[in-house]
Amino acid sequence: MGAWPVFRNFLFGLPAGIFFSTYVGTFAFVEGRSMQPTLNPDSENEDLVFLNRLVVRNRNIQRGDIVTFISPKYPHKIVIKRVIGLSGDVIHTLKYRDPILQVPDNYCWVEGDNPTLSLDSNSYGPIPLDTITAKATCILWPPSRWQSLNSFIPDSRISVESPSALAA
């Protein structure tokens, strides 16, 4: 194979790859234990997840989704947590300065599945929806853990109430 076909493939492939990873989705290894047992359950291996960017572009974020977002504490980092509450929801916080909080418009409340090892909304409050970069939709690696990631709120956190509960 000559140099021209290789260069041509690179010339067309690179923009397509950049477009795909920017607008459609990308892959990322999950570090840490804050999302255990859902992600990285054995601490020895990191899960590789697919991050769907189309869901975020369509603003289709739901309670229970696992999302990545720009960290409010460390803006150079992207972190991964579960959405516990959306705009207008009343949250019974775990260790936040306010024990009960109504999530403001265009914000959401996120928590790790392992609350003892998670730096999340209980530390820094609700996060702006605009900081969400993707939704984790499946585990791709290791092969033994290949699965879709279901959206759910852990039983221990089902405390989302209607806004009228705040007035009571």
- Of 34, 118, 121, 135, catalytic: 34
111/66 Cα distance (integer angstroms): 9
- Is 81 part of the annotated catalytic residue set? yes
Furthest-apart CA pair in the chain: how many Å? Answer: 75
16/50 Cα distance (integer angstroms): 18
Beta strands in the chain, from DSSP E residues, in sequence order: 25-29, 48-52, 66-70, 78-86, 90-92, 100-102, 107-111, 127-128, 132-141, 147-148
Around Cβ 4, how many Cβ atoms within 10 Å?
9
- Of 21, 81, 118, 144, catalytic: 81
Let me know: does 114 contact 36? Beta carbons within 8 Å. Answer: yes
- Three-state DSSP state, 136: strand
- Three-state DSSP state, 52: strand
Cite the active site residues: 34, 81
